[in-house]
Amino acid sequence: MSVQNINVALIGNPNTGKTSVFNQLTGLNQQVGNYPGITVEKKMGFCKLPNNVKANILDLPGTYSLNASSMDESVVIELLLNKNDKLYPDVAVVVTDVENLKRNLLIYTQIKDLEIPTILVINMSDQMERKGISLDIPYLEEKLKTKIALVSSRKGLGINALKELIVSYKTLPNEPCLNASVIDPEYFEKLKHAFPNQLIYKLWLVITQDVNFSNLDRNEIRNTFTKSNSELKRLQQKETIKRYQFINDVLKEGLKVDASMAKDVRAKLDRVLTHKIWGYAIFFAILFLIFQSIFSWSAIPMDFIDSTFASLSSWAAEELPSGILTDLLSQGIIPGIGGVIIFIPQIAFLFLFISILEESGYMSRVVFLMDKIMRRFGLSGKSVVPLISGTACAIPAIMATRNIENWKERLITILVTPFTTCSARLPVYAIIISLVVPSQRVFGILNLQGLTLMFLYVLGFATAILSAYILNKVLKLQSKTYFVVEMPSYKLPLFKNVGINVVEKTKAFVVGAGKIILAISIILWFLASYGPGKEFNEAETIVKERFANTTLDEAQFENEVASQKLENSYIGLMGRAIEPAIEPLGYDWKIGIALISSFAAREVFVGTLATIYSVGDTENETTIKSKMQAEIHPETGEKVFNFATGISLLLFYAFAMQCASTLAITKKETNSWKWPAMQLVFMSGLAYFSALIAYQLLN
């Protein structure tokens, strides 16, 4: 028997365990991508079924109905309307939660109206006994005109039965389970008459939804069957009521709940977790735990990655035949890749916590707690997650804004998230603080250096919130606010779901941002390794002449040559070109070079300075530090890294938009050049002027 390929679409409300069912069916056999041109995640997986059938399983975004109020829903509708789509499902699997069956069945009745073979999955069946729920499956199957699979995706029960049902999809009844056209018989009769070959419900979707439908011209239909938007909305409401009536009738017979059995853990937990004191106390305790683990636990793998890439670089430099490709590899590409990989531990830890909080249902409570406070600043309760994620990296944080429905709130969140202190700023802060802030104790216990670092974190958050406040006043965007958050019941997070989520998100960062950081590192390497004129090309002769009277050992000589070359390389020239602009901030051209190269990724600052100050061994931080410490300004004779310059640099790095990858993500998520440009100008302007003021005041 030959192998048969079928398409299966998983459809259902959010929080029904749809993704767990998907994970159970496909395991790690999944791909995550984007739908072309839009930022909706596309999850595909593969599954082997009995009888030599292979299924492509598409996990569609979780939606409450087929009414398109967001991109997520448009994706679902467009796929289900377009029979020619290569992903058009042979069979739809609607996943529902036994505790919320009534609400979850709404979308089921809509899918049935499209006359696609549909299987109904009733998930979390292991909870039935505890909640006192009993189902009359044969009755439900008859009324809903389908086959039902009772599944517990948490315990892996019923998955095989579901696979059997998918294989025999051809035997599923095809007709709708209710007649929705009774809401306005006359209107639908006319429709049917005009388009006898089309499904009436498809026509209705085309009329009411802003979606593409290949062979029907939406405007044409709408012109013929004119109804005002509010009339249409009223009809939609009637449709929804009609569907609920049907569902209520069916469930009255098919579902019995013994209320005495239901013990509500939810109410008790809610009372504590959304309490006006305890709620916030617990939230901040969790935040503290997250930060603690991000910074202390991930230090070990990060050090390991750091030293591994360093030795890999030196290995490549020694073992490979010498030449520019080897140099590019050992000085540009390997450190570039290392600079991306090093963030994996922090990002993985962050997503570990966030997905545990989301899976357990706690995140919705945080949204509920924080919404009013955040709204004063033009943000939404849902902005909390991006702002927290921003402390690891702004890129996944900006991607996490996708579930904010209100466009203005979402845009403001995207724009201010890069102010939060991401981990790339940390190495820069660390070295400058250790240079200019004395390591002494204040009030007996607190370390002044640690205090400065904490202040910079607070500064990041405060600036983010304040800019949000300003943007909220300045931006003239009208967008209808609506805020509806489902408060799911509390669940123990599933290890498998959390694990897959962490792997996916980390991969998205490495692939997305990593490529950009790597590409820029390569270009920077070329700019630093080539230069015009004889100052660059004859660096060795020049150094020899300059040190004719002193004896240099080989290492010292090479360092001097490297430094001479860098000074006259393209990037060195750029650094000197911007020197007049950054001099008032207390920087020289060398710091200028580091500022430019920080555009690839901020943490490059330290490495660049190490190269500029011709420290051969970039791994040894104390040597970079002592070199920087000893650096004297040639004209004034003062220390370059004095207190004023240090503070000015800290402020500059706290505010400046120096991350090309973040700009790329902002452009992608906002689908416009305007917003990343504004981010760049606003943030860098703020950085420049605050650094300027700080330096001028302190110096």
Query: Of 93 and 369, which CB lies nearer to other proteins in the complex structure?
Result: 369
Give dist(CA 546, CA 557) in Å, integer. Answer: 11
Q: Which two tokens stand for residue 360?
A: 């357990």
User: CA nearest 108: which of 47, 18, 34?
Assistant: 18
CB of 406 to other proteins, least distance (A): 8
CB of 604 to other proteins, least distance (A): 15
Query: Of 168 and 236, which CB lies nearer to other proteins in the complex structure?
Result: 236
Query: Of 182 and 693, which CB lies nearer to other proteins in the complex structure?
Result: 182
Contacts of 684 (CB under 8 A, 6+ apart): 655, 656, 657, 658
Q: Which two tokens stand for residue 230?
A: 């509010």
Q: Which two tokens stand for residue 190?
A: 């006319």
Query: Of 352 and 357, which CB lies nearer to other proteins in the complex structure?
Result: 357
Are residues 625 and 434 in contact, defined by beta-carbon separation less than 8 angstroms? yes
Q: Which amino acid is at 327?
A: D
Query: Of 104 and 389, which CB lies nearer to other proteins in the complex structure?
Result: 104
Roughly what angle, to the nearest 10 degrees, separates helices 589-597 and 643-655?
Answer: 20
Are residues 505 and 497 in contact, defined by beta-carbon separation less than 8 angstroms? no
CB of 282 to other proteins, least distance (A): 13
CB of 63 to other proteins, least distance (A): 9
CB of 466 to other proteins, least distance (A): 20
Coil, helix or strand at residue 325: helix
Query: Of 83 and 233, which CB lies nearer to other proteins in the complex structure?
Result: 233
CB of 69 to other proteins, least distance (A): 6
Helix (H) or strand (E) holding 54: strand 53-59
CB of 13 to other proteins, least distance (A): 9
Query: Of 169 and 204, which CB lies nearer to other proteins in the complex structure?
Result: 204
Coil, helix or strand at residue 186: helix
Query: Of 106 and 593, which CB lies nearer to other proteins in the complex structure?
Result: 106
Query: Of 461 and 675, which CB lies nearer to other proteins in the complex structure?
Result: 675
Give dist(CA 378, CA 178) in Å, integer. Answer: 43
CB of 544 to other proteins, least distance (A): 26
Contacts of 449 (CB under 8 A, 6+ apart): 433, 434, 437, 438, 439
Query: Of 236 and 556, which CB lies nearer to other proteins in the complex structure?
Result: 236
User: CA nearest 55: which of 88, 6, 90, 93?
Assistant: 6
CB of 314 to other proteins, least distance (A): 18
Q: Which amino acid is at 449?
A: Q
Query: Of 26 and 401, which CB lies nearer to other proteins in the complex structure?
Result: 401
Are residues 137 and 125 in contact, defined by beta-carbon separation less than 8 angstroms? no
Coil, helix or strand at residue 345: helix
Query: Of 338 and 381, which CB lies nearer to other proteins in the complex structure?
Result: 381
Give dist(CA 609, CA 593) in Å, integer. Answer: 8
Q: Which two tokens stand for residue 643?
A: 């207190």
User: Do strands 255-257 and 133-135 pair parallel, antiparallel, or not at all (unpaired)?
Assistant: antiparallel
Query: Of 234 and 627, which CB lies nearer to other proteins in the complex structure?
Result: 234
Give dist(CA 569, CA 409) in Å, integer. Answer: 45
Query: Of 280 and 643, which CB lies nearer to other proteins in the complex structure?
Result: 280
CB of 281 to other proteins, least distance (A): 12
Query: Of 238 and 496, which CB lies nearer to other proteins in the complex structure?
Result: 238
Query: Of 194 and 325, which CB lies nearer to other proteins in the complex structure?
Result: 325
Q: What are the angstrom distances between the C-alpha of 394 and each of 108, 294, 413, 558, 619?
A: 38, 15, 11, 38, 26
With 0-12 / 13-18 / 19 or more C-beta atoms within 10 angstroms meaning exposed / middle / buried, residue 375 is middle
Question: Got the DSSP string for 488-552?
Answer: PPP-PPPHHHHHHHHHHHHHHHHHHHHHHHHHHHHHHHHHHH--SHHHHHTHHHHHHHHTTTS--
CB of 218 to other proteins, least distance (A): 6
Query: Of 373 and 632, which CB lies nearer to other proteins in the complex structure?
Result: 373
User: CA nearest 616: which of 567, 552, 572, 559?
Assistant: 559
> How many of the other CB atoms lie within 10 Å of CB of 299?
12
Q: DSSP letter at 329?
A: I
CB of 536 to other proteins, least distance (A): 17
CB of 490 to other proteins, least distance (A): 11
Q: Which amino acid is at 39?
A: T
Give dist(CA 300, CA 309) in Å, integer. Answer: 14
Give dist(CA 560, CA 563) in Å, integer. Answer: 5
CB of 241 to other proteins, least distance (A): 5
Are residues 456 and 654 in contact, defined by beta-carbon separation less than 8 angstroms? yes
Question: Got the DSSP string for 428-482?
Answer: HHHHHHHHHS---EETTTEEHHHHHHHHHHHHHHHHHHHHHHHHHHH--------
CB of 671 to other proteins, least distance (A): 5
CB of 32 to other proteins, least distance (A): 18
CB of 116 to other proteins, least distance (A): 20
Q: What are the angstrom distances between the C-alpha of 187 and each of 195, 352, 443, 452?
A: 13, 52, 78, 69
